[in-house]
Every structure is written in C-alpha cells, then in structure tokens.
Copies of this chain bind each other. A is one copy, B any other.
C-alpha cells in the first residue's frame, strides 16, 4: 500500500512570538503533529507554513497531497485568496482536509462549510472530557469511551456548522458547556474532518490519543481519486437510445 501523503499546514506564529507556546512546541505544532503521525502508520508527512511562498501550498504540493491538516488562529485573513480557492478545489476534487481547533475560523473551512463556524470560547485551561459516540469508527480506532484532557481552551455551542454527516465526539467542559468536537462531512469528492482540541498554550498535541485521532482522521479522509476540473458542467449527449452493450 502506498503511504498516505499528509501535508500539515501551520500558521506558525504563536510558537515564534510567545514563550509559553515555544516551550511546548519548540519547532512548531506542525512538527509535533507530523512527527507523531509518522510513527502511527504509513504516512509520508510534509509541512507547510504561512510565511513560505504560496504559504507552502503551491498547486503541485496540493495535487500530490492526500490529506491536508490545518492549524491557524491569528492570521486567517493573511491566507491568500488564491490558496483558499486552491485548497477548496483540491478538496472538491478528492483531497482530505483535517481542520484543527482554531482552524474553525480558517477560510478554507468556512468556504467548504458555507457557514460562519463561529462558537463560544474561554481560555481558562480547565479540563475537557471528549465522549466517543461511535466506537469502532475508523477515525476513533483504538479510542475508548472518553478522552480526558487535563487542560484545554473551552469551545462551546452553538457551533455554526452544517449538520455533520457523522458526529463522532462531543466535548464536556466543567464550566457548563458542550461542543460537537469531532465531526465529518463529505464535500465534492473529498472528506472534511473537524477536531476541536489544540489550544496553543496547552500540550494537547503531545497527548497520545489526540495524536491517534489525528492520524486516524488522515487515513480516513485521504484522497482516493483526483478530479482536476471540478467546475466542469458538460453539455452531454443523450444516453438513450442506449449505447451498445460493452
């Protein structure tokens, strides 16, 4: 089996400007996530960041990416329209997209959802419990009844997303909130996953079960085909009287 070609995109700002974040992710979250995934299955990992030309996502990179992981927070509006459009087209043509945490407000995710993807939040570092609604689902392989995070930013409903195709986990917060924390949607020929944990000031991406879910999501959402001209709307000849049998 060919390896799944994963590209992990990170805004990569907090890690360079905030001591607390750098202490947790000295080389950037993309490295932590990428290094973890690479040990968890047949994944060939590349990374890309905002500051690179084309944000590290030129057309040839996306065309050879099976699944794109996306983390962004303070610079969503610095992502160029060209790259947003390119990511959307690749997903509709078959690429997988795994959106993490504050990526809920990233433009590729908003573009694919058609909604604002807004939510409530609170940076109090309380704990979170994620409930597994679908044990045995490929994205939740190896995950038990709950995943426990010692500290995480609170994300609360109403999360303005289209009804997920599959709601896989719901988060519980001690402050009294709930959240649809792990969701999937099909868009065009591609698959989109949203996974809520991962605030930059907490060591969430060092957590083995969080790593496992991201790796699983990459495998599950990975591209199985590639359609190039997603906007084609062909004027077609009738199929009947039917063509000769093959």
Q: Assembly of this chain: how many copies?
A: 4
Residue of B nearest to A118 (CB): B233
Please pick, from B129, B160, B188, B246, the residue contacting A160 in the complex, using a CB distance under 8 A. B188
A160 to B135, CA, bound (A): 11
Residue of B nearest to A166 (CB): B163
B136 adjacent to A157 (CB under 8 Å): no
A235 to B232, CA, bound (A): 39
A127 adjacent to B225 (CB under 8 Å): no
Given A131-B178, A132-B158, also A118-B185 (CB < 8 A): no
Give the distance to chain B from A171, nearest Cβ to Cβ, in Å.
Answer: 8
Given A118-B231, A131-B158, A233-B119, also A238-B163 (CB < 8 A): no
In this complex, how many residues of chain A approach chain B with their Cβ under 8 Å: the count is: 76
Given A236-B120, A237-B122, A240-B176, also A148-B245 (CB < 8 A): yes
A163 to B168, CA, bound (A): 10
Interface set of A (CB-CB < 8 Å, partner B): 88, 92, 94, 105, 111-116, 118-124, 127, 129, 131-138, 141, 145-146, 148, 150, 154, 156-160, 162-163, 165-167, 170-172, 174-178, 180, 185-189, 223-225, 227, 230-240, 242-243, 245-246
Could you jot down 18 A-B contacts, CB within 8 Å?
A115-B188, A116-B188, A129-B239, A133-B158, A134-B158, A134-B189, A135-B227, A136-B223, A136-B227, A156-B236, A162-B185, A162-B186, A163-B166, A170-B170, A172-B172, A176-B240, A177-B236, A177-B239
